[in-house]
Amino acid sequence: MPHSFSLRVYYEDTDLAGIVYYANYLKFIERARSEWVRGIGVDQVALKAEQGIVFAVRRVEADYLSPAKFDDVLSVTTDVQDITAARITLTQDVSRGDETLFKSVVTLVCLGADGRPHRLPADIRQLMQR
């Protein structure tokens, strides 16, 4: 089931043209991913402290369709596309109402304390696949 995260565009998010600066969409989808992980019951701080496991972005495919502007209320939808032993692929779309402004495919990897790929714990994989 897709996760939805709402946010408002602040002045600091915009550029000279008054539209959301392109790199800020990456911040928006990062916030949404953090809330999705928290919402399914994964404590990333505890996961790192207890098992030495963290999630890192490996790849982002981004498609900017239409600009968001100051004071817009946006919704970021996060949906699991695929999960393997150490990789999670998500689709994340940013919308204003019914209009999709930004589409992305984000690949995350699970890393151990040594910075090398690590298997995603089975219980976390199950939570993410719901």
Contact (CB, 8 A) for 67 and 19: yes
15 is catalytic: yes
Catalytic residue among 13, 15, 63, 98: 15
Residue 81: Cβ within 10 Å count: 12
Catalytic residues: 15
